[in-house]
Amino acid sequence: MAAKKEQIMLGIETSCDDTAVGIVTSDKRILANPVYNQFKEHEIYGGVVPEIAARSHVEHLDNLIKAALKEAGLALRDIDAIAATAGPGLIGGLMVGVVSAKTLALALGKPFLAINHLEGHALSPRLVSDIEFPYLLLLISGGHCQLLSVEGVEKYTRLGTTIDDAVGEAFDKGAKLLGLGVPGGPKLEKTARSGNPERYSLPRPLVGKPGCDFSFSGLKTALVRTVDKFVRSGAKPTNEQISNLAASYQAAIADCLVDRTANAMKMYRIKHGRDLHFVIAGGVAANALIRSNMEALCELEGFSYFAPPLWLCTDNGAMIAWAGLEHLAKGHTDTFDFPARARWPLDQQSAPKIGHGKRGVKV
């Protein structure tokens, strides 16, 4: 029997403020993975402006595809299939990526695959390691905060999710309140480094409660109140005080993540028994305190710990291409009427997919 031909997937990611294109092979070679970061375009607004993001995606995507092909030393006709993030995310950008991918697929006569952004993150560890299903995933980013049991392609159980802000949002809002600038997460982490995390007593929402959902809005409000006290007193805070506030805030976030993840690990263990693997992904996985706390928790709970490299944790095209390859290997493709979806829960049981154009048999 002839060896199965290696497949080359082009993946497009436009769900937030990164325009990204990845070219990945079925034997896990990443041939190109350029990212155009729109950070500068949004900076003066203090956050991502959806309309600016959408305008930027349509302006940059085709050139980024060209750049990726050049880097990979390939022509478009060498690509076997095209995948794009179809949700969840900012709808204006999603539509740009989805329409572009469909058009390329139509013009080249190749399959199109609509990828769930969360699934891109969830499957990304498999692109850079030999990790097998199942594993417990903590996905923490600017837009998402979830604990998922990843049991296979299209088989995800959501154990917990945020009931208000995503954890990256909590970092960004905290940084904004403390006047630290953007990007909020890294700025806050840097400021916290010299601070005393026990100086200010801030709440840990939901900690100690059953389940593994997250909540950060109460913590943010507590920080607002603390800052208000300073402003009302008329005194300028010292750098030390700001560092202490940042450190206390970050410690509270990390404590919440550890407590909720510990609960998830207990739930996960009941279902999956002994061979226990934990993966952390998403842009906030760059935070050193959170990483080390999670690693310690894994040791305590008897889980193996895996954190994909940072370039794979933040939004990128390679993870979308890889998720596309995982689907293609199962014979999945999508039709050209697949909608871009601002909301698209990954868990099939608790929130069944609606109106999607999947062909082929589900596993």
Chain residues that interact with another protein, rule: CB under 8 A: 44-47, 49, 51-52, 54-55, 58-59, 61-62, 65-66, 76, 91-92, 95-96, 98-104, 106-109, 176-179, 227, 230-231, 235-239, 241-242, 335-340
CB of 238 to another protein, least distance (A): 6
CB of 231 to another protein, least distance (A): 6
Is residue 61 within 8 Å of residue 96, measured between CB atoms? yes
DSSP per-residue letters across 204-245? -TTTTSSS--B--HHHHHHHHHHHHHHHHHTPPPPHHHHHHH
CB of 71 to another protein, least distance (A): 16
Name the residue nearer to another protein (CB basis): 204 or 341.
341
From the list 279, 251, 262, 325, the residue with the least C-alpha distance to 11 is 325
In this structure, what token pair is assigned to residue 114? Answer: 């609509």
What is the biggest distance separating any 2 CA atoms in the chain, rounded to whole angstroms?
Answer: 79
Name the residue nearer to another protein (CB basis): 65 or 307.
65
Q: Quick check: helix, strand or coil at residue 14? A: coil
In this structure, what token pair is assigned to residue 11? Answer: 């993946």
CB of 84 to another protein, least distance (A): 11
Name the residue nearer to another protein (CB basis): 133 or 336.
336
Name the residue nearer to another protein (CB basis): 108 or 262.
108
CB of 103 to another protein, least distance (A): 4
In this structure, what token pair is assigned to residue 89? Answer: 């995310």
In this structure, what token pair is assigned to residue 53? Answer: 């993001």
Name the residue nearer to another protein (CB basis): 6 or 43.
43
Name the residue nearer to another protein (CB basis): 117 or 126.
117
From the list 106, 100, 117, the residue with the least C-alpha distance to 61 is 100
CB of 220 to another protein, least distance (A): 14
